[in-house]
Structure 1
Amino acid sequence: MMLQQTIISPSIDGIMDIKNTFKISTLNTSGLNTTIKQEYLINFMNINDVKILGVTKTKFTINTGQHLYKNHKDYKAWWFFTDTYHYSQDIGIIINNSYAKYVAIQHTFKGRILALTLFLKGKIRFMIIVIYNYANNTMKKEITELYAHVKVFIKEETKHKTRIIIMGDFNANYDDYQ
C-alpha cells in the first residue's frame, strides 16, 4: 500500500493556530474487501489522528461498500463504486465525525472522482476531491475527460472561494501521457 500524508495548518494573523489543525491522508488500498484491512484503516486513522482519509482502489461490490463503517461510532464514510468494474476502480472518503457533520454536498463521476463539500465554522467552504485515474496511458480520451471534470469542479468552487484539496491515485507519468 502506498501512503501519503499532508498536514494542514491554518494561520491567524501570521501565527499558527495549532488547535485548528487536522490531518488529511490518502491511500491506495489495492482492495479493502477483507475485515483485517478494514480494521487496519480505522486503526491507522486513530493512531495517526487522521481526520479525513481518501481511499482508492477498494475493489468493493455495491453490497460490501454500502455497509462498511455505516454505523461506526467515530467515522462516517462516503463510497462511490460501480459493479461493472469493481476490480479496477472505486473510491471513498472516510471522515471523523467531528468533521463529517459539515459535509453538505457530494459529487461523483464514473467511479473515478468523489468530491465532498464541507461548510465549516467561520463560513469556510472546503472541498475534498479524491481521484482514481486510469492506469493505462493509452486511455487518453478518458483521462482527458476525467481531468476536464475536475477543472469544472475547481472553476465552480473558485467562485465560492472554496478551499480545495485534490488527492488520490493519479497513476500519472506526465512524460508518458504526453
Structure 2
Amino acid sequence: MIIETEIRIGDIVELSPTKMSTLDDLDLEVGTVLEINEQEHCYKIVFNNDTYINERFFDNNSTSDWFSLQHIINVERDYKVINITDNQDTITGQEVCIITMAKVKKQVELTEQGYTITAVVDEFDTDKFIFAGFTANELSELQDTYSRVSFAQYKLRDAEIDYVPIKGWQSKTPINEPGDIFTLLDLGYSEADN
C-alpha cells in the first residue's frame, strides 16, 4: 500500500490524475478531506482555487466529490513540533535525532457560506520522525513551529531507542537542511486558534 498512514479529516490529499475522469476531466489533483466513509473506504474531497494557506474555508462554489482510497496517492498533514531529542538507535548503533510532532486535528463545519475548518493541536496524539546525520541543536529552530509533512517523502521504520521499540517515520529523500523535512513551513497557526 502506498499510503502507510490513516487518512483524517482535514488532511491534504493528492489524487491520481488518471482517476479524475469522474469530475469531467477537470484538472483537479489536490484537495482537502471533508468527510470519511469508513465502511466504503471513501473520502469526500473539496477543491478550491482560492484557498487560504491552511485551507481554512471553502465557499459553496468549491467543487467536491467522493473518491475511493485507490485514487489517493499522497497524504499531507499539519503538525506542531513539540520535542526534538538526540538519541541512538540501539539496533544499528546510529546516532539519530528524533522529532516528536503533535497532529493538528481539524474539524469541518458546514455553514451558509461554505465549509469552515478549525484546527486544534492534540499534544497527546503524536508521530515520531527519525533523522540520521542531524543533532537536536541543528534542528532546534523547528521547535514549536507548525508545518506540513508529505507522507510520500517518508516510510515507516521500526527502531529501538533506549531499548524501547518505536515506530517512526524516516525520510526517503535526502534532508540537507531543516526546511527539507516539510512541504510547507510556518503555517500560521497560533495558540489562539486552539
TM-score higher than 0.5: no
Bigger RCO (CA 8 Å, 6+ sep): 2
TM-score, scaled relative to structure 1: 0.24
| Pair member with larger Rg | 2
Higher strand share: 2
